[in-house]
Every structure is written in C-alpha cells, then in structure tokens.
Structure 1
Amino acid sequence: MRLRVTFSKGGVLAYTSHLDLVRVWERTLRRARLPLAYSGGFNPRPKLQLAAALPLGHTGGAELLDIWLDESLPVENFARALAPVLPDGLLVSQVRQVILKEPSLPAQIVAAEYHVTVEWSEPAEVVQVRIEQVMAAPELAHERRGRQYDLRPLIERLWLERAGEGEVVLGMQLAARAGATARAEAVLEVLGMGEAFAHYHRQRLLLRAVALGDG
C-alpha cells in the first residue's frame, strides 16, 4: 500500500536539513507503530520518499511524502495513529492512497509555488514595474556554483501579492524539474532585492498529470 501525505513544515523544523527531515519522519512513523514496508539489504530502512528538498530556513505549506506499508489499512486509521506522535513543526493536512506503480514522487514534480515576504519600502507600483521588467526580459543570465544559465524560462509566473508597511509579498511559480529548477533567492536577485531580508514559504508543489500506464 502506498500513501501520500501532505504536510506543512515550519517552526523549530524550518532549519532541519532534508536528510534530517527524513530521519524525523522515520522516527515519527515508528512511534505511530504503523505497518511500514522496509528496504532490503544489511541496513533496512522504512520505505518513504519526500517530493523535493526544502532549503534551510524555508517553510512549506503543502509538502509531499510517499510512504509504503506492508499491509493495507484505512487511511483514517493511518492519520489517527500519526496525529499524536507528530513533532512540533509538522502538521498533516491530508493522507490519501496512490497506486503502487505511479512514478516516483520527485519525478512527478514540475513546479513550485512560493510566497516570499521581503523587507522592502518601495510602493506597489514601483515593485510592479520591477516584476514587469523581469517577465519581459528575453533572457536573464545568472550564475550558480560557477555555472551560467538562463533564469528567465524557469520563472513561470511572478506577481505582487501586496506591498506596504515596509514589506512586500511576492508570489512565484518556478520550474522544479530535473535539470531545470529555479531558486526563489535567484528571482529576488534579478528583481534587485537580493540583499533584503526575506522569508521564503513554499506554498505548494505542482505535479504533472500521471496516466495509469506511467511507470
């Protein structure tokens, strides 16, 4: 049985690394005494898979985790067993069953939506001009870890949520495919806001449609 858990990550876990978050989930699932499926080999581990790593310091509103069980049980029973052992910083909003032969969860991710709160004093109309200039640019040359790339096609949508009282909230839909992933920090840099203090919240992950024959 394969279950997909939608959860939020924040609070004390905002600075937990991807690998440490996997360990947090392993401990939590064991405490819930659920019939977990395990990998083979000399060091068997619970079979689970996070959709996409969340950078340190970022919070997430609808992160995704796939969990494999050795036996079937009602989704409601799974959620009920999990609720009392969840650590501070994790909150489950949905559990649903998915077909076993679906492609891996990371392979299904195509984009991510962010809400970024920036300490910024410019009025909304000035910020809007910055956004329009970025979206109208034919190319946005950028560098990461010594590699040059064009950021522009990776910014699928960019909009202003609100501005005022010394802060700006931006919405971003960014590509998140293998070999074509944009960072929200890079978008702030091309907007000319890269030096400002910002809080990054990944609102949701967007998955490609999966046909029953995939995988």
Structure 2
Amino acid sequence: MRVRFTFTKTEAMRYTGHLDLFRTLERTMRRAKLPLAYSEGFRPHPKINVAAALPLGITSEEELGEFWLKEVLPLKDVEAQLKGAAPPGMQFQTFEEIVGRVPKLQTQTHNAEYQVELLEEVNDLEGRVIDLMAQEEIILERKKKGKVKRYNLRPLILNMEIVEGKIRMQLSLREGATGRADEVIKALKIETQQARITRTRINLIS
C-alpha cells in the first residue's frame, strides 16, 4: 500500500535537518505501529520519501511525502494513528492512497512557494525586488561534494512580489534546477538572520 501525505514542519523543528527529519518520520510511523515496507538489498530501510529537502532553518506549512506499507489498511486508520503519534513541530494533514504505476514523488515536483517575514525593516524592499527580477543573470556559487559550481539563479525565480510587507516567491523545484529561498534573500542583499522563511506549498507537474 502506497500512501502520499502532507505535513507541516513548524517552529519546534526549524533546525531539524533533512536526515533527522527522515529519522523523525520513521520513529513516528513506528510509534504509530504502522507495518512499514522495507527496501530490498544489503541494507534494507523503510520505504519513506519526501518530495524535496528543506534547508536547515526553514519551516513549512505543507511538505509532501510518501510511504509504503506491507499491508492494506483503511486510510482513516492510518491517518488517526499518525496524527496521534506526531511529535512537537510536526502535524500530519492529508492522506491519499496512490494506486497504479505512478512515478516517484521526487521526479514530479515543479515549483515551490515561499513566504518570507523580515525581522527588521529593509530600505526600499520593493525596489530591490523589482531590480532583481529585471536582471537576466544572477551568478552565484554552490559548493557540492567539495566542488564549487557557478550557476544562474535568475531563471529559477519564477515569481516574486511583496504582499503585506512579506516577500512571496515561487521558485523552480525540478531535478537539476532548484531555486533556494535563502539564496534569493542573499541576492536581495538581506542577511538571512533577518528573515524567517516558510515554504507554503510544493506544486507538482500537472
């Protein structure tokens, strides 16, 4: 049985990293006494996936995940057991059984939406956003596996605007083309310590 679910990662888990999030999900599902299915191979592990890693320090109103069970259970029972076992900082929201040959969740993401609350006033915030969106190239560097790679951030910013004093942005979330909200904040010449970033939604390929 394959189950797709949404969940929140709130303030109590702001500084929980990606690997620790996986461990938390696994412990929660064990606490809920769900019959998890395991991968095959030399080192079997529970079949649990999330759509996209959430960088440290960022909260979320709606993350997407999937897990597999060895047995078919009523979905309402799965929901009740998990909601009752959820730790502080995590709330389970919706559950859906996935039937048939549906591609892995990680290959189906298209973009993610973020909201950024600034802890200090920033001069000419709207002007900074307009100037950034007008650029054709924003060349940044990322370090991965000990190597530094240069890339253009601008095509990864699909939309950005100021709404009621908060920055709202929509960033690409595709394989090999993922925009990071914290890097956009830096490109706006704002210290990341001044920003509270929340991922509000992950949109899949339609």
> TM-score, normalised to structure 1's length?
0.88
1:34-91, Cα deviation, whole Å (9 max, x unpaired):
1221122344322111111111111011001101112222211110111221111110
**CA shift at 1:122, angstroms?**
4.1
Whichever residue aligns with residue 152 of structure 2, its letter is D
Whichever residue aligns with residue 142 of structure 1, its letter is L
Match status 1:186 vs 2:188: no
SS at match of 1:73: coil
- Contact 2:182-2:192 at 8 Å conserved across structures: no
- Contact 1:3-1:95 at 8 Å conserved across structures: yes
**CA shift at 1:155, angstroms?**
0.3
SS at match of 2:170: strand
Tell me: CA distance 1:133–1:26, structure 2 relative to 1, closer, same or farther (3 Å): same
SS at match of 1:174: strand
**CA shift at 1:144, angstroms?**
2.1
* 2:155 aligned residue: 153
Moved over 3 A (4+): none
- Across the aligned residues of Structure 1 and Structure 2, the Cα RMSD in angstroms comes to 1.6
1:156-176, Cα deviation, whole Å (9 max, x unpaired):
00010222xxxxx10010011
Tell me: CA distance 1:195–1:84, structure 2 relative to 1, closer, same or farther (3 Å): closer
* 2:33 aligned residue: 33
Please show how residues 50-199 of structure 1 align to structure 2 within 5 Å.
Answer: 50-122=50-122, 126-145=124-143, 146-163=148-165, 169-194=166-191, 197-199=194-196
* 1:212 aligned residue: none
How many residues of Structure 1 are paired with residues of Structure 2 in the alignment? 202
> TM-score, normalised to structure 2's length?
0.91
**CA shift at 1:141, angstroms?**
1.9
Deviates more, 1:36-45 or 1:107-116: 36-45
Unaligned runs of 5+ in 2: none
**CA shift at 1:100, angstroms?**
4.2
Unaligned runs of 5+ in 1: 164-168, 210-215
